[in-house]
Amino acid sequence: MNYFYKIALLLLALIFFSISDSYAQDLKDNLKEYEALSDSITKYKPTDNRLSIDFAKRQLLLAEKGRDTVKIIQSLHFIGRNSQFISEFKQSIEFFERELALISFIDVNEEKYKRLTADYYTEIEILAQLGQNYVALGQFNKALKLYDKCVAIAEKENLEFYKAIMPTIIADLYATIGNYRVALKKNKESYEALKTVNDVSDTTKIANRGFVAINISNSYLNLAKLDSALWILDEGLKEKLDTLSISSKQLFVGQRGEVYLEKKEYQKALNYLLEAHSLAVQYDSVVGPASYSLELAECYFYLKNYQLAIDKLEQGLILKKQRTKEIHLTEDYKLLAKIYKQSGNLEKSNENFEKYILNQTALEKSKDTITSAFHTQEVSNLEKEKSTQKNTFYLFMSIGLGLLVLLITFIIYLIKEKKKNTEKFNVLLSKFNQEEKTTFEIIDTKDKVLEEKISAEVNEETTYLILAGLQSLKEQEYFLRQDCNSYNVAKKIKTNTSYLSKVINSHFEKNFNTYINDLRINYAILRLKNDSRFRSFSVQSIAEEIGYKSADSFARYFKLSTGLNPSFYIKQLNSLD
């Protein structure tokens, strides 16, 4: 019996050691393959990010098979981060959330995990990256909550880098709702703060300052400070912020192209944008072809190459719709509608214009969501402050009573103003019922001071030709174009600006600008009354539709002519439906 027992133990031992040797060999083989994959990732990341992600996924499987927590976290982070670069935001979220869940179960102070902390595989980093993914997908409430957590962690743990970088990340939300001044202020704050942080490598500082420089330039661009937008790019080039990767070089080149596009230097803009597009394709052959499609199409449009502009936009839209919500493509649809209209394809123009309107409405709602989120955040912060400062209760109460008095006063003022405006609206509306008065004479401004009081120098035949030309352009609705100025009008009716001005002064008792503004405002009054869909446009869109470059200019002339704000006029018309 003892003999057989010893034989059994010996056999079990042999099996155990055989299995152990096999497992050890598997680990060696896994490690060898893992290192080979690391070499492939390093080789292909600069030129083919998607291929490098595929290698990282295979690395992840090996790390999970070997139960190597450090390597698992590193692989998850690499896939999550690089998925962002190729606009695979949902995939990025999936891998970052897996990484976050894993990190929450480990002790980062343990020796084998200290390297992870040193390389920024930390909770705050993952939360920040998740937030940026949610912004890209239009889920702004989720993003803001994650950013709040990041700010709290950075303050609590005194993390210099994150205290420096969070303002520019939050600035992106302000830019989304059109508050470019606040976005610019926050981006500048990050740009300066990143100069002096000591808890990151120089490479990390350069990479992030390059990113912030692009954001600052974009803020200046949206504020129409074009020279400043170029200046910050030049400053970035001096510091070689564009030299870390193809992606960083692409961003600087592309941003310069966008600034020159806004400056209306279309050929120069096209050259930069084509270079940036080439770099984008080189960096990512799948998403890259869609990069700068809108900007390139705009260049081609203004250079009158309509078919190339259409092709570029259509191709870009196909790729973009696979990775982003359509509400982020409103400008693409708007430009496409404009190009089709210019090329004579009214059916396609209307089709794309309807898409623009639908998505613009949805985009405005998403902006309201961010604004609401910021408001909710402010209320939450106020509540926290109240709970920690109870002894200021009576002060707050006094302030509240004062504000209430002001609010009541303001409400009374608004009621009176509304009553006045309603009376003005009724007077304006009554003019539509005067059949003997043509609709284009509802607003007929007379200038007290004219450039030319008489047209004696203009003979009767020339005067007749100028008036006939003006009537023809009026019937063509040329006054709705943004390039409608005295020079272009004079050129179209084959006269000079002096004769044009004198005839308009004498015949209409107004100067040229007043004449054009009256036509536009009359058109707006009439169309808003008769076209309920037109009333659903934003004030900016209405302004652009009737020839103004900004909503402020349109609103100012509308109120000057009617005594009403456009928004009030629209609201009153809607109440009649």
What are 210's two structure tokens? 């390059």
Instruction: Give the HSE-up count for residue 326: Cα atoms under 13 Å, Cβ half-sphere.
Output: 13
pLDDT of residue 113: 74
Neighbours of 469 (CB within 10 A): 18
Output the CA torsion sign for 290, 296, 301, 305: negative
Domain 439-576: which CATH number of 1.10.10.10, 3.40.720.10, 3.40.50.300, 1.10.10.60: 1.10.10.60
C-alpha Rg value of the chain to the nearest Å: 32
pLDDT of residue 523: 92
Cα separation of 56 and 102, whole Å? 17
pLDDT of residue 24: 46
Residue found by looking up tokens 């981060």 in the block: 81
Cα separation of 64 and 60, whole Å? 6
Q: What is the CATH number of domain 24-159?
A: 1.25.40.10
Residue found by looking up tokens 């006063």 in the block: 409
List, for residues 294-313, the tens digit of each pLDDT value: 899 989 999 999 899 899 88
Domain 294-383: which CATH number of 1.20.910.10, 1.25.40.10, 3.40.190.10, 1.20.1440.230: 1.25.40.10
Residues ≥6 apart with Cβ < 8 Å to 527: 534
Residues ≥6 apart with Cβ < 8 Å to 7: none
Task: Cite the residue boundaries of each domain of the chain with CATH code 1.25.40.10.
Answer: 24-159, 294-383
Give the residue from 468, 556, 454 showing the smallest Cα distance to 507: 454
What are 151's two structure tokens? 């700010």
Task: Cite the residue boundaries of each domain of the chain with CATH code 1.10.10.60.
Answer: 439-576
Give the residue from 258, 241, 259 showing the smallest Cα distance to 249: 241
- pTM equals 0.51
pLDDT of residue 60: 86
Cα separation of 458 and 462, whole Å? 6
pLDDT of residue 436: 43
Segment (H or E) for 540: helix 539-545
Where helices occur in 137-239 by DSSP H, the ranges are 140-157, 160-176, 180-196, 202-222, 226-238
Could you say which residues of the chain have pLDDT below 70?
A: 1-31, 44-47, 108, 118-119, 363, 365-398, 432-441, 450-456, 577
List, for residues 157-200, the tens digit of each pLDDT value: 888 888 888 898 888 888 877 888 989 999 999 999 988 888 77
Segment (H or E) for 136: helix 123-136
300 in Cβ contact with 312 (< 8 Å): yes
Give the residue from 30, 109, 132 showing the smallest Cα distance to 71: 30
Give the residue from 117, 120, 166 showing the smallest Cα distance to 143: 166
Q: Could you tell me which CATH class the domain 184-284 is placed in? A: mainly alpha
pLDDT of residue 107: 75
Class of residue 194 by CB neighbours under 10 A (exposed 0-12, middle 13-18, buried 19+): buried
